[in-house]
């Protein structure tokens, strides 16, 4: 199992994809240099923490993507079926104006700093 999130803490890995494996080992990837292909995914959201951030509290880690497998690919551009998360705007994972917290997807992919649902891969 892997946990994937966008790293927003200041430092050398600021604004990179963070991948943590089941052993707790962490790797970072520049979103302009790679595409992450994620398989058997679940969009995890800690709703209480997200609501506090939405209400004005300081940001802290409250959401990530759990996935069973990841492949690192060359960068590619995708523009449809964007999955988004910004607890300052909406304290939920969103896709096509629908809340998708805890929804499972067979395949998600990154493109730049975005995450996208890809029905066919």
Q: What is the CA radius of gyration of the chain?
A: 14
d(CA 87, CA 12): 24
Round to whole Å and give the CA distance between 51 and 89.
10
Cβ-based burial of 13 (10 A; exposed 0-12, middle 13-18, buried ≥19): middle
Question: Cα separation of 3 and 26, whole Å?
Answer: 9
Domain limits for position 18: 2-117
> Could you tell me which residues are beta bridge partners of residue 41?
67, 105
pLDDT of residue 121: 57
Is the alpha carbon torsion for 89, 60, 8, 29 positive or negative?
Answer: negative
Mean pLDDT of the chain: 95
Tell me: the pLDDT tens digits for 81-118?
A: 999 999 999 999 999 999 999 999 999 999 999 999 98
**pTM confidence score:** 0.92
Distance CA 115, CA 118 (A): 10
pLDDT at 77: 85
State how many domains the chain has. 1
């Amino acid at each position: 199992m892997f946990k994937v999130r966008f790293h927003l803490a200041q430092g050398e890995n600021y604004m990179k994809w963070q991948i943590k494996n089941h052993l707790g080992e962490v790797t970072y990837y520049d979103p302009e240099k790679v595409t992450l292909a994620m398989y058997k995914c679940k969009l995890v959201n800690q709703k209480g923490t997200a609501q506090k951030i939405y209400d004005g509290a300081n940001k802290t880690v409250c959401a990530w993507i759990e996935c069973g497998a990841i492949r690192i690919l060359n960068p590619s551009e995708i523009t449809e079926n964007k999955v988004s998360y910004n607890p300052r705007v909406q304290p939920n994972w969103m896709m096509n104006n629908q809340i998708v917290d805890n929804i499972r997807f067979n395949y998600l992919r990154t493109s730049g700093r975005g995450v996208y649902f890809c029905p066919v891969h």
